[in-house]
Amino acid sequence: MPSNPHLPTGDSSETVRILVVDDEPAVLFAYRKMIEKDGMTADVSANLEDAIRHIRAHRYLAVIADMRLAGSDNGDGLDILRFILKECPDTKTSLATGYGDSEIEKMALNLGVSYYFKKPVSPADILNALKECHAAATCPPFTAPS
């Protein structure tokens, strides 16, 4: 069992839960439908405060966050990454941005982002990233033969 209570245990009866954080209702709707169609549970948040409440209340395999949320100082995505790194470092993270540059990408990588996407992001890329996260979480660690 993982040491972090926020990461699914890999038990096949446990629902895989994903959090999507974006200020665009159409994006939240589309991602939720796509994720749920693939058999996972999707929660959505439109702002930093709500995202933190969700992260504190549930175990997430992954969190997909937009870099800029409405009414923010344009750093909410990085703030979410910082919170996850501190509170549940085993949770995989994806950051999507339409305003990215090499400095933002470097900061995200330093905060442990698993996937960095420049918008527009293909839904297939998001699903592939989530499937990779799920495979990594459910596979037992490799043990070299003695």
Three-state SS for 130?
helix
Reported pTM: 0.83
Three-state SS for 16?
coil
- Taking a C-beta distance cutoff of 8 angstroms, is the pair 91, 18 a contact? no
Provide the CB-side half-sphere exposure for 64 (13 A, CA). 27
- pLDDT tens, position by position, 127-142: 999 999 988 887 555 4
- Taking a C-beta distance cutoff of 8 angstroms, is the pair 111, 79 a contact? no
Residue 23 pLDDT grade (very low, low, confident, very high; cuts 50, 70, 90): very high
Residue 4 pLDDT grade (very low, low, confident, very high; cuts 50, 70, 90): very low
* CATH architecture group of domain 17-136: 3-Layer(aba) Sandwich (3.40)
| Residue recorded with tokens 């997909």 | 64
Q: So what's the pLDDT on residue 139?
A: 58
